[in-house]
């Protein structure tokens, strides 16, 4: 069927097979930041925003994105650099393969939660697996970033 999707601000009209998942559809449009780490919706690597809400693009059919606005890390380069710098300064990106999905979820969290506790942060990001870091450096980066954002808002 034919779908119309806005990807990172640009509108695309495409014929897609009914079983095409959003993940593959996005990668076929050059959104290579969107990664696949499993087949069971467990790893969080494929996280993108659909109408500003984080979704697992492996578990969303491309046809469901019809008429929706999809944002990937390619469309949030400024934000990615801003938070990514905190992550990089902790050495918390390591292999980097889970970074895009993780960062997409962090950026969604920042919009959704006000002054989250450590437990709330962990809970929100629970679905983003990482095998390199043991998550500690990611937590340090998130907290420093939240501090930075708060100070920026107070200015």
Partner 1 sequence: MKYVNAHIRKKDAMSLVTGKPVYTGDIVPQNALVVKLLRSPHARAEITDINTAAAMKVPGVECILTYKDVPNSRFTTAGQTYPEPSPYDRLILDKLLRCAGDPVAIVAAENEKAADKALKLIKVKYNILEPLMDFTKAIDNPIIVHPEDNFKALCNTRTDKDRNICSSDVFEVGNVEEALKNCDVVLERTYNTKANSQAMMETFRTFTYIDEYGRLNVVSSTQVPFHVRRILSDALEIPKSKIRVVKPRIGGGFGAKQSVVSEQFPAIVTMKTGRAAYIVYTRGESMTNGSPRHQMQMKVRIGADRDGRIKAMDLYALSNAGAYGDHGPTTIGLVGHKSLSLYGNLEAARFACDVVYTNTMGGGAYRGYGATQGIYAIETAVNEIAAELNIDPCKIREMNMVKEGQTMETYYGEPCNSCTLDKCMAKAKEMIDWDSKYPAKKLDNGHIRSVGVAMAMQGSGISGVDIANAEIRLNDDGFYTLLIGCTDMGTGCDTILSQMAADCLDCDIDKIAVRGVDTDQSPYDTGSYASSTTYVTGMAVVKTCQELREKILETGCKLLGIDKEKGDFDGEKVFDLETGKSVSLSEIGYASFEGHNKSLSASCSHSSPISPPPFMVGIAEIDLDPETGYVQVVDYAAAVDCGTVVNRNLARVQTEGGIVQGIGMALYEDIQYNEQGRMINNSFLQYKIPARTDLGTIKVEFESSYEPTGPFGAKSIGELVINTPSPAITDAIYNATGLFFRSLPIKAEQIALALAEKKDK
Binding site for partner 1 (CB under 8 A): 32-33, 35, 37-40, 42-43, 45, 72-74, 77, 80-81, 83-85, 87-100, 103, 122-123, 125-139
Rg of the Cα trace of the chain?
16
Kindly state the greatest CA–CA separation across the chain: 49
Give the nearer residue to partner 1 in terms of CB position, either 5 or 31: 31
Instruction: Give the shortest CB-55-to-partner 1 separation in angstroms.
Output: 17
- Residue 131 CA to residue 102 CA, distance in Å, equals 12
Instruction: Give the shortest CB-74-to-partner 1 separation in angstroms.
Output: 7
Give the nearer residue to partner 1 in terms of CB position, either 3 or 99: 99
- Residue 59 CA to residue 39 CA, distance in Å, equals 9
Give the nearer residue to partner 1 in terms of CB position, either 61 or 139: 139
In the chain, the N- to C-terminal Cα span, in Å, equals 49
**Residue 81 is inside which H or E element, if any?**
helix 77-89
Give the nearer residue to partner 1 in terms of CB position, either 21 or 65: 21
């Amino acid at each position: 069927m034919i779908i119309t999707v806005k990807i990172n601000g640009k509108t695309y009209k495409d014929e897609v097979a009914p079983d095409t998942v959003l993940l593959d559809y996005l990668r076929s449009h050059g959104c290579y930041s969107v990664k696949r780490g499993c087949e069971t919706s467990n790893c969080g690597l494929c996280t993108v925003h659909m109408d500003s809400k984080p979704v697992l693009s492996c578990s969303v059919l491309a046809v469901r994105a019809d008429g929706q606005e999809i944002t990937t890390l390619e469309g949030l380069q400024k934000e990615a650099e801003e938070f990514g710098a905190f992550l990089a300064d902790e050495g918390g990106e390591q292999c980097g393969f889970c970074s895009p999905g993780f960062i997409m979820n962090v950026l969604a969290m920042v919009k959704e939660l006000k002054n989250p506790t450590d437990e709330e942060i962990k809970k929100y990001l629970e679905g983003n697996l990482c095998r390199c870091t043991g998550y500690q450096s990611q937590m340090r980066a998130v907290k420093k970033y939240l501090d930075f954002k708060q100070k920026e808002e107070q200015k």
